Amino acid sequence: MSTPPPILYRRLALLTQGGLDIYRNKTAMGMLRFRPEDVVCVIDAKHAGQDLQQLTGVGAGIPIVAAVMDAVRLGIDWLVIGVATPGGYLPANLRPQVYEAIKNRIGVISGLHESVNGDPNLVALSARYAVDLINLRRLPDDENHVSTARARDTKAFRLLTVGTDANIGKTTTALELERQLRAQGVAARFVPTGQDGKLITGRGVCIDRVISNFASGAVERLVCHEARSADLLVIEGQDSILSPPYSGVALALLHGSCPDAMVLCHAPSRTLHRHTDVPIPPLQQYRQLYEAMLAPLHPGKVVAISLNTMGLDEAEARKALVAARAETGLPAVDPVRNLDGGVEVLVAAVLAAAKGRLPAAATRHAATAAGHRPAKKAKAGAAHGKAGAKLAMKRKG
């Protein structure tokens, strides 16, 4: 497998024109949450001059400007197309701003399916002004590997975030888990499988661009490679096994990674799979389906529930957490709002599942019950309640 060195882009402007929305602008929200030190500004005319932290719960001190030229004056080096659109097309209203960036010798980074390198106008303009067009979904030339379930043989414990729908919090949950595991002394490593994880970490493969016959193989190769330098892999989940548009990607990840454990991500306020009229089944049914679809290959189990309670006030969110625990018998928390113990409870559940697979020192917290710690007061996550229905917060995946 060809593995280029990680590339971290800095001095970024995030283009989010059309509103600071969690789902439309999930790429931007991920960078604001996990790489804010490299973000110079956000470009969003609708909210120019407003406080980004108050609007989204992340990005304290990062200005919102109205146009690309405002960002250029702040000294940016790169323009990141921060939106995620159905079908992955670059919206027509954003093209003039991308052109403006190129004319000012600003590189362009895109995670959309529509490749910036495939647009003749963008390519010609970038050549004229000698700037780079970065396509995060570009694949290695040798990414045609057939899976044989070799991931089962890694010494590293494998954790996969899975979901009841697309764009529901799998990436955020995975990155929060990696951060907390490393803080507790575990040699954990995040495995990026999509454009957002790849932009944040500078490495990985966008699995949804791999030919379907080789998608699980691409996951397998990535997992086996990353396992060389970690005791515990936190694999970024994608989509959902019952999502009509995207189920194939989720199944490729499940079978390609053969996880030892899974954390199931869910948004209690969502009733239909995105972009469809297909209802989302009950949480317990989804849990059983993930385990059943994996069982013939590997006996991995769902060990905890990560809830995205955006749009719910605190009382409603806590009620949803209680309901999730009652339905599944598993620990359930919101790791962003830090409700009912937050990410530490998820870590305890993962370490308990990994007992015997990690160095002894790494499991010192595993004895902590993976259940219900006393709730901590939400800080930035307080904006994640009813206000979140007005302008969404900071979750992605």
Same domain, 187 and 305: yes
In 75-89, which positions are buried (b, 16+ CB within 10 angstroms) versus exposed (e)? ebebbbbbbbeeebe
The token pair that represents 131 in the structure block: 């700037």
More confident residue, 27 or 289: 289
Structural domains in the chain (count): 2
Range in 93-107, 204-218, 238-252, 355-369 with the lowest mean pLDDT? 355-369
Final residue belonging to a domain, choices 85, 105, 135: 135
Pair 167, 259 in one domain: yes
Last residue within a domain, chosen from 105, 135, 165: 135
Model confidence pLDDT, tens digit, residues 208-240:
999 999 999 999 999 999 999 999 999 999 999
Are residues 97 and 187 located together in one domain of the fold? Answer: no
Whether residue 99 lies inside any domain: the answer is yes
Q: How many whole angstroms separate alpha carbon 279 and alpha carbon 258?
A: 27
Residue 90 in domain: yes
Q: Is residue 301 part of a domain?
A: yes
Angstrom CA distances, 282 to 166, 265, 271, 323, stand at 16, 12, 10, 11
Q: Are residues 322 and 205 in the same domain?
A: yes
Out of 87, 110, 135, a domain closes at 135
Instruction: Identify the CATH number of the domain in which residue 126 sits.
Output: 3.40.50.720
Q: For the purposes of burial, counting CB atoms within 10 Å of the CB of 250, is it exposed (0-12), middle (13-18) or buried (19 or more)? A: buried
Q: Examine the domain organization and report whether 113 and 242 are in the same domain.
A: no
> Could you tell me what percent of the chain has a pLDDT over 90?
72
Residues 117 and 233 in one domain: no
User: Is position 144 within any domain?
Assistant: no
Q: For residue 1, tell me if it sits in a domain.
A: no
Residue 186: which CATH number? 3.40.50.300
Quote the domain boundaries for residue 59: 12-135
- Average pLDDT score over residue span 9-23: 85
What is the DSSP code string of 86-112? GGGPPPGGGHHHHHHHHHTT-EEEE-S
